[in-house]
Amino acid sequence: MWDVTIGRRVVESGAFVSENVDLSGLTTLRIGGPARLLAECPTTQSLIDVVTLLDREQIPTLILAGGSNLVISDEGFDGVVVRVANTTVSLDTDRVVAEAGAVWDEVVGQSVAAELGGLECLSGIPGSTGATPVQNVGAYGVEVGSRLRRVQLLDRRNGEVSWVEPSKLELGYRSSVLKHSDAALVLAVEFDASTDGLSAPLAYRELFTALGAEEGARLPASQVREAVLGLRTGKAMVLDPYDHDTWSAGSFFTNPVVPGDKLPAVLAAIAEQLGDVNVPQFPGSGGTKLSAGWLIERAGFSKGYPGEDAPARLSTKHTLALTNRGSATSADVVSLARAVRDGVEAAFGVRLEPEPVTVGCTV
C-alpha cells in the first residue's frame, strides 16, 4: 500500500506528485472521476523508476499520457495515475525518434518542417506518441506500423528496458500485443522517414481527390499535412477547446471486419433494411471491412443523435465520434455507446467494437 516512504521515493525519482486530481481534465472526452494520486514523470528515467517502484510495491497504477483514447468511469481511479510526460524529439537524416509523452501532432509537424516525409497523413490525431504503436494508429491510408522502425519498452515483469522490432508487436488493425495489456510500457518510438520531403504514396481516395492528385502520387509532405488537417477539421477531429464536437475520443468504434461466411447474411440484412444500396467494402485481415460510420448512420443514428439537450451526443459532423457537450458523465457516454452498438447489431447483425480503452467501466 501507498505510504509516506513510497511517496518520498516517488518524488526522489523525479516525479511531481499531486493529490485528489480530477481526471476529466486529462482526457479529450473530458470525463472521468478523481484519482487519489497523480505522479507526473518528466523524463524517461523518472518514468522507469516510478513505474518499477509502484509495480514492486503492488500499488494499482494507471498509465496516462494524452488521454485521447480513454474512457474513465465517474468513480475515477483508486490508485496512482502515472502521467507520461517525457517529450524529447530527435530528427535525423532518415528517422524520427520521439519519447512516449511527446504530443503526436507536434512530432508530425516537426518532421514535416524538417522535410522528412512519411508521417504527414497521420497529422491532427490527438494524443501522445507512445500510444501510436499500441493502437497501431492509422488515417488516410497510412498506419503507424508501416513507418515504425522500433519501439523502446519497459518490461514491467522484470524491469528490463529494450528496443523491440515491429515484428514482435503483432500489429493489426487498431491493435497490437501492447493493447489491453500492462506487461510493457512504451518509453520511446522510432520511425522511418523519407529524406526527399515527399509524402508517402497517396492511397486514400478522399485525400488524393482533395489534393487533385492521382492514387499513388507523392506530393510535398507539407502540402499533404495541410490537406489532412483540413479534412480532419471539417469532421471535428482536430482538438478545439471551444468546439464540443471535438470533445471526444476520436473514432469510438473500429470498422468491423466481417468473415467471409457471415458477409452474405450481413449484406442481406442491409438490403432488407435499406434496399439496393452500395455498401462500402474494403479488404480486411480475415474478411471484409465495413464502414462503422456508414452502418451507424444507416441504422438510424444520425449526426447529433439523440438531440440538442443530450449531454452526450454523436458529433454533428461525424457519426463515428461520441462527444461530450459540456456536462456529460462517463455513464452518459457509455449509455450512448451501448445504444449505438446494440442498434447497429439489431439492424444489420454486425457488432461494433469500441476503440478506446476503458477504465472502471465497460461498453
Is 9 one of the annotated active-site residues of the chain?
no
Query: CB of 32 within 8 A of CB of 357?
Result: no
Give the E-state strand segments of the chain in sequence order. Answer: 16-22, 34-41, 61-64, 70-72, 77-84, 89-91, 95-99, 138-139, 142-143, 148-155, 161-164, 184-192, 248-251, 257-258, 281-284, 287-290, 312-314, 321-324, 357-359
Q: Burial level of 345, CB count in 10 A (0-12/13-18/19+)?
A: middle
The DSSP secondary structure of 232-290, one letter per residue, reads HHHTT-S--TT-GGG-EEEE-BPPPEE-TTTHHHHHHHHHHHH-S----EEEETTEEEE
CA nearest to 23, candidates 330, 336, 315: 330
Is 75 one of the annotated active-site residues of the chain?
no
Out of 24, 111, 251, 330, pick the active-site residue.
Answer: 251
Out of 174, 232, 298, 313, pick the active-site residue.
Answer: 174
- The span from the CA of 108 to the CA of 282, in Å, is 27
Query: CB of 321 within 8 A of CB of 313?
Result: no
Is 355 one of the annotated active-site residues of the chain?
yes
Catalytic residues: 174, 251, 355
